[in-house]
Amino acid sequence: MATDALTHASRSAASEHARTVAEQADRHALTLESILAALRSTRLSDAAARAEAVEIASAALIELRTATDRQRSTLLEPVTGAFSRLRADLRPLVRFGDLDVQFVEPPATGRALPGDVAHSARAIVRTAVLALVDDGVARRVRIQWDCDGRNLLMQLRDDGAGTLDAHDDAVRPIAERVVALEGTLAVHSTAGWGSTLDISLPLDPSPRAIEAPTDSDLTERERDVLRLVVTGIGNREIADGLGISANTVKYHVANLLRKLGARTRAELAAAGARG
């Protein structure tokens, strides 16, 4: 029971490091698309377009500097709050782009989302919308979220060519994110009418059994770090005990997660305890 509780509480923190690069890449792409949409808009004068582009870039820089702290401090996020942040992310494209983005608000009641699920859900939608912008065929997309208590349910429906397939390059990064969270993705297309993406993300992915490490799998320092991770102490205490920096501990923990196929620190500790 204690291990299950630790797994649930640490899922967001443990998976945040693995998704940081992809999350930032999505945000950079969204910022650039938004700036281009403002600069290309025929509804704005040159001066107004430049001012809007500067505002978007400035806001993105502030968001980039505060994103890590905010994400780490947000373990649970109401589904309505997560959806509102998604609308804010896409607002520049809605205001200045050619794609008509329609939002269907989720119910105000319901279970809050774990932080990593909320972040990944927004990234999935942003990736899909940017793919539609790049494709240039669809003129309208409807985004709908709901929560059944166990899963976050998302649907994106466009009015494009209706040729989208689950194996398309545009869908692959979305599918990879969904699989990483043990979710499901279904793509339904009708030629000439558009495509629909139905995505379900579990709020409590099931714990996995991780293979115990062998001596040949790990370096001596990684074995030292793993031995201390098993005790349940934090990175700072591990660093003090081994006489290394906390950043070096984070580096070794990330390598351990990758080598052992663990998603969370709790799974890593369980594997180390069996070793």
Question: Which one-letter amino acid corresponds to residue 137?
Answer: V
For residues 231-270, b (16+ Cβ closer than 10 Å) or e, as one string? eeeebeebbeebebeeebbebbbeebbebbebbbbbbbbb
**Mean pLDDT in the chain?**
79
CATH architecture of 2-202: 2-Layer Sandwich (3.30)
111's tokens: 């279970």
CATH architecture of 220-274: Orthogonal Bundle (1.10)
Domains of the chain, residue spans: 2-202, 220-274
Statement: the pTM of the whole predicted model exceeds 0.85: no
Distance CA 30, CA 187 (A): 23
5's tokens: 């509780």
Asked whether 74 and 112 are in contact (CB, 8 A), the reply is no
61, pLDDT greater than 70: no
Asked whether 223 and 215 are in contact (CB, 8 A), the reply is yes
Strands 194-202 vs 184-190: parallel, antiparallel or unpaired: antiparallel
Tell me the Ramachandran region of residue 149: left when phi exceeds 0, alpha when psi lies from -120 to 50, beta otherwise.
left
pLDDT the model gives residue 198: 95
Q: In which residue are the tokens 């591990």 written?
A: 238
Confidence bin at 70 (pLDDT 50/70/90): very low
pLDDT the model gives residue 206: 63
Distance CA 9, CA 11 (A): 6
pLDDT the model gives residue 148: 87
pLDDT the model gives residue 140: 92
pLDDT in tens, 150-193: 899 999 999 988 888 877 888 888 888 888 788 899 999 999 89
217, pLDDT greater than 70: yes
Question: Pick from 247, 260, 153: which is nearest to 213 by CA?
Answer: 260
What average pLDDT does this structure show over 21-40?
77
pLDDT the model gives residue 214: 64
Q: Do domains 2-202 and 220-274 have the same CATH topology?
A: no
Distance CA 87, CA 196 (A): 19
